[in-house]
Every structure is written in C-alpha cells, then in structure tokens.
Amino acid sequence: MTPAAHALAAIEVLTEVEDRRAPAPQALKDWGAAHRFAGSGDRARIASLVYDALRARASIAWRMGSDSPRALILGALAFARGRTAEEMTAAFAASQHAPAPPDEAESAAIAAAALDGAPPHVLGDYPEWLDAAFADAFGDARAEEGAALARRAPLDLRVNVLKGDRDKALRALSHLKAEPTPHAPFGVRIPLTDDGRGPPVQSEPAHLKGLVEVQDEGSQLAALIAAAAPGEQVVDLCAGAGGKTLALGASMGNRGQLYAHDSDLRRLAPLNDRAARAGLRNLQIRSPRRDEPVLADLEGRADLVLVDAPCTGTGTWRRNPDAKWRMRPGALEIRMAEQDAALDAAAVLVKEGGRLVYVTCSLLPAENEARIAAFRERHPGFAPIAAREAATTIGAPELAAFATTSGEAFLFSPRRSGTDGFFVCALRRT
C-alpha cells in the first residue's frame, strides 16, 4: 500500500469510529479483517496515522474548521507529520487508491496552521468538560500539560536486575539505538520511527530471556518509590498483568515473599509466564475466589502494600488517545469509588510501621490528592511519607523535584518528567 492508500484507510477507520462509536482498536481490527491484502506493516502505519489524528483531535479540528474524519487525517498529515497541501496533492494524484486532494479551503487551513484565540482545552487537546479539573491540577500550565499528553509516547523498557544490569541490556539492544532513561536507574529507551512506531522488542532475545520488560519510565519510578526490600512481605493488591509486580520482585532479589492479587482473574493470566521468564521465584499469585477471602491470612502482616488503583488513565493518553475522547463524567465517579474500596482493603493488610503506596496513572486531583485525603479521614493511623524523604530513601533525591505542591506525594507527567502521568503517594501506618 502507498502512503496515500494509508491515508484513505485511516479516514475509513475514523469514519467507523464516528458512525458506530467504536473504540479505535476495534475499528482498526475490523478494517484489517475486511482488507486481508493489507500486511502487518500497512496496518501499523494506518493505526499510527489514526492515533496521530486522535491525539490532537481538538487542535486539528480548530485549525481545519471541521472535525470530520477527512479533516482530522489531513490535519494529522499536516500538523503531526509536516506534509504540505502541495505534497499531499502530488501523493494522492500518484496513487490509484487515495483521498481526494485538499481543496482550496483545506489547503488554506493547512497553510495557516492557526490556533489564534483557541481556549486551553483546544490548545491542550483534552475534552472541554475536564478543563476545570486540569485547571485545578496545573493552573495556567494546563494547556501545555495537555499538549504534552497529546504527543507520541516513547518506548521504554525496564532492565530486570535478576538477569543482568543496564549496561548488559544496552549492549544487547545497541542495534535499536537504545539509551538510558533520564530518571529510572534500570530504564532503557528505544527511539521510535518517523511515523511513531517502535520496533518489535518482544521478539528480541533480551526480552525472550527475561533481561528486559516493556514498562514506561513513570511506572518504573512508581515501583521504585515503593521501595520493596529483600526479606519483606509485599502485596501488590491490584496487580493486573504484573508489570509492577515484576519490578517489586526484582527489587526484593527473590528474598522475602511477594503476593500478587487482582479482582479480575483474566488480568492476572499472563503473570505466571512473565514471572518464569523473569526468574522470579518468591511470588505467590492469589487469584480471586467467589465468596472466599484470599488475603485474610495477610491481615496486619505486610511490610508493604502497593495499590496500583483502577483509574481513568488520563496519564496514559499518549498511548491510548482514543480513551480521552470516549471518557465520560460517570466513569470518574465509578473509579473514585473503586479507589476508595482498594485503599480500604489495603489498609487492613499493613502491619504497624508498614507502608501503603497508592499509585494511579491519572493526573486528576479527584483520583489522587482527594482520595488520599478521604482515606486519611477514614484511617487516621496512616501518615504520608514526604516525597523528599521517599526519594532520599531510594537513593534518588532528584525525584523530589516532582513532588506535589504539598510535598506529600509525587506527580509525574509528560511535561514535568517526560513519562506517562503517574501519581504516587507513600503512607506509613503509625
């Protein structure tokens, strides 16, 4: 397929998203099933263009004067990839399967690229109904924070110290131009291609042998701040597929006991294989059971409980731009109730002097500071560990630069730290 044919296909996928209100991944999958001639490389390029359009949907629509699928794809080619209207016209004319060339109004909009007078939610490419929450979190910088969330995410890996060190991983991945991440001591970053795709690192020997795992640097920092130590009793309460579980286990050096639990058995399914590949031997997976508590024997025994809480995922919009336009206010209320329940379940597991670490991949204060404040009202025996103290404890005092205004937690974001958005608050049971 030609680049022009990729553009036409991307318009068709976005049309499906609009007409059926289908999630973008499902629309892309359906398009691929209906067009078997398209190879994996073609499908990846089409997906990359669709996601470029969704990342900057509001600002593209403002510039183009339309939010139609065609306008969004032409705008993505122009504003995300630097194509001029003349270049599009030539490319489209040279291909049998292509959109119509930009008309006079579209060409003028592309040439002007104007965002004059645009409000913060347009400049920041986030839903207008979230503007108050972003203003609460970031004030006058909310447009810049949103714009950073609308850029492409890097491809980050975590080096598994049970299998080797970062220098070993950098040598093994040197052909991919791997570099150390700026903040995480075990992080490796792989450059993306010009169209935003990353190499298939899961097929690399370093990954197959368990030396590296795909994990955003912000997620690595959250696990690092938890400070799981050898010999401790550690619970990952909302383990999911186990990315942070594996990071905690590596910090423990296979000494002590690590428990992974999640309310959804399906999310835990990959963890056994991942743990085996990583060489993690001190892990117990506690699968949920109907009408039977599975963590009762750990009440008051845990040195550390990590609550990687279910959330709206606003901090991961770089990787899932479709989610920000599909998000509704009701989803926030549901997540807040789930976060409160997870914190309450964690509290009973923490022993005196132990730690509870609350993590979300959200930037919304309602899911972060507000949940900690509500938790402390219900459980006054927990006190926050200052971000500066937490950063010093793990030997990374520079991370205190990402403390919240209160100094009681960390807030990472693409603009602040170059990572996905994460809120991390460590509390001690006094």
pLDDT recorded at residue 162? 97
Beta strands 422-429; 283-286: pairing state: unpaired
In the chain, where the domains are located:
3-118, 155-214, 217-429
pLDDT recorded at residue 289? 78
Confidence check: pLDDT of 195 > 80 = no
**pTM of the predicted structure, to 2 decimals:** 0.93
Alpha-carbon span 288 to 180, nearest angstrom: 38
Alpha-carbon span 293 to 24, nearest angstrom: 37
pLDDT recorded at residue 292? 67
DSSP-assigned states of every residue in 55-119: HTHHHHHHHHT--SHHHHHHHIIIIIT---HHHHHHHHHT-SS-PPPP-HHHHHHHHH---TT--
Is 308 labeled as ligand-binding? yes
pLDDT recorded at residue 70? 97
pLDDT recorded at residue 40? 87
Confidence check: pLDDT of 392 > 90 = yes
pLDDT recorded at residue 291? 65
Beta strands 350-360; 410-412: pairing state: unpaired
Q: Model confidence at 391, in pLDDT bands (50, 70, 90)?
A: very high
The CATH code belonging to domain 155-214 is: 3.30.70.1170
Selection from 275, 84, 64, 80 nearest residue 194 by Cα: 80
Beta strands 382-384; 422-429: pairing state: antiparallel
Range with lowest mean pLDDT among 79-93, 289-303, 371-385: 289-303
Mean pLDDT of the residues in the chain: 95
Please state which of the four CATH numbers 3.50.7.10, 3.40.50.150, 3.40.630.40, 3.40.710.10 is assigned to the domain occupying 217-429: 3.40.50.150
Same fold, 155-214 and 217-429: no
Crossing angle of helices 217-226 and 243-252, rounded to 10°: 50
pLDDT recorded at residue 340? 98
Coil, strand or helix at 421: coil
Residue 424 CA from chain centroid, whole number: 14
**In the chain, % of residues over pLDDT 90:** 91
**361 is an active site residue:** yes
214-234 per-position pLDDT tens digit = 999 999 999 999 999 999 999
Confidence check: pLDDT of 124 > 80 = yes
> Among 238, 311, 361, 425, which one carries the catalytic annotation?
361
29-77 per-position pLDDT tens digit = 999 999 989 998 899 999 999 999 999 999 999 999 999 999 999 999 9
pLDDT recorded at residue 282? 96
pLDDT recorded at residue 198? 84
Cα end-to-end span (Å), the chain: 63
- The residue-averaged pLDDT of 70-87 equals 96
Confidence check: pLDDT of 90 > 70 = yes
pLDDT recorded at residue 55? 96
pLDDT recorded at residue 197? 77
Selection from 149, 156, 154, 169 nearest residue 216 by Cα: 156
265-319 per-position pLDDT tens digit = 899 999 999 999 999 999 999 988 776 678 999 999 999 999 999 999 999 999 9
- The residue-averaged pLDDT of 162-180 equals 97
Q: Model confidence at 196, in pLDDT bands (50, 70, 90)?
A: confident
Is 262 labeled as ligand-binding? yes
